[in-house]
Amino acid sequence: MPDQKFSPTRSLVTGGAGFLGSHLCDRLIAEGHEVLSVDNYFTGSKRNLKQLLDNHAFEAIRHDITFPLYLEIDQIFNLACPASPPQYQDDPIQTTKTSVNGAINLLGLAKRLGIPILQASTSEVYGDPEVHPQTEDYWGNVNPIGPRSCYDEGKRCAETLFFDYHRQLSLEIKVARIFNTYGPRMDAADGRVVSNFIVQALRGDPLTVFGDGSQTRSFCYVDDLVDGLFRLMHSPPEITGPINLGNPGEFTMLELAENVIELTHSKSTIEFHELPQDDPTRRRPDITRASESLGWEPKVPLRDGLSRTIAYFEDFFAGK
């Protein structure tokens, strides 16, 4: 037989123990990659990686990306950063440092190795948008000194760094702007609306709706989102992004709450609370660019995704 050596791609996933990062690790392993997860476990959990710990192609390292790291890999997915308001506001200085200093460290690593790097940016770069739906050429409406700005402006600065490394140093970059994503392995206490509603409904507590419930979001199931990230990383070098990844289906908070109550067969009621500062009133991605350049679009309808997520939380609370 010819002397051939299989050389799998070695992928680094920062934030690999998080909700989204752990699903990306699963996908990469399934595609035959060797995967190195880096996480400081500030919001991530080893529980999210338990299905991979015995896999010889997987390795997990505890590390904070605000400090340099020296590895030999073939591509980088940078997903490290708290992503829910209660989590990123818990230590706003560290949140900004993770986005900015972390980006500098990982871009430096990618430059040294001459490898592509993907940045998990966010729809929060659009702030409380005055353009609807949001296209990638919209610059946003962001409060730079508000309680959410540690995350919003940190991610905006990270995008700036990525594109400057690309223009000045010809580094191959990919920037994904991720809209609301949900699914199994969400943290029950992370404060995101889908997990909040499901946990409250399963416990029989009132569902907390802020404002009058008319504000909208678009919810993308995690498997669809991971597929978008995978396609973006393996797209031609000239496709840099930013590219919106999210489900363009738009739902009010009241519609989401009613769906969760129905699917959980809960007797919960709905309580209305004051709307937090700088909370966006409308959010929906225009995914034309993702569709045309990546051949990507989400496939999982909201009710199907909610049913899968509810089943996960039922098992979680049952200790399974």
Annotate 70-102 with DSSP letters as a single string: ----SEEEE--S--SHHHHHHSHHHHHHHHHHH
Q: Give the span between the Cα atoms of 177 and 69, in whole angstroms.
A: 25
82-99 tens-digit pLDDT: 888 888 888 999 999 999
- Average pLDDT of the residues in 254-272: 95
Per-residue pLDDT at 274: 86
Residue 160, phi then psi, degrees to nearest 5: -55, -45
Angle between helix 302-317 and helix 193-203 axes, rounded to 10 deg: 60
Q: Give the span between the Cα atoms of 309 and 62, in whole angstroms.
A: 27
Residue 1 has pLDDT above 50, yes or no: no
- Helix, strand or coil, per DSSP, at residue 32: coil
Share of the chain above pLDDT 90, in %: 85
Q: Where are the domains of the chain?
A: 10-317
221-245 tens-digit pLDDT: 999 999 999 999 999 999 999 999 9
Share of the chain above pLDDT 70, in %: 97
Q: What burial class does residue 248 get, using C-beta atoms within 10 Å of its C-beta: 0-12 exposed, 13-18 middle, 19+ buried?
A: middle
Cβ–Cβ under 8 Å, residues 309 and 241? no
Cβ–Cβ under 8 Å, residues 201 and 233? no
Residue 6 has pLDDT above 50, yes or no: no
174-190 tens-digit pLDDT: 999 999 999 999 999 88
Residue 315 has pLDDT above 80, yes or no: yes
Task: Show which residues are catalytic.
Answer: 151
Amino acid at 290: A
- Looking at the DSSP bridge assignments, the partners of residue 12 are 36, 76
93-129 tens-digit pLDDT: 999 999 999 999 999 999 999 999 999 999 999 998 8
Per-residue pLDDT at 318: 85
Indicate yes or no: pTM above 0.95.
no
CATH of domain 10-317: 3.40.50.720
Residue 263 structure tokens: 């699917």
143-169 tens-digit pLDDT: 999 999 999 999 999 999 999 999 999
Q: What is the DSSP-derived secondary structure letter of residue 23? A: H
Cβ–Cβ under 8 Å, residues 284 and 216? yes
49-60 tens-digit pLDDT: 999 999 999 999
User: Mean pLDDT of all residues in the chain?
Assistant: 93
Cβ–Cβ under 8 Å, residues 294 and 243? yes
Amino acid at 283: R
Cβ–Cβ under 8 Å, residues 215 and 275? yes
The count of C-alpha atoms lying within 13 angstroms of the C-alpha of 247, restricted to the half-sphere facing its C-beta, is 24
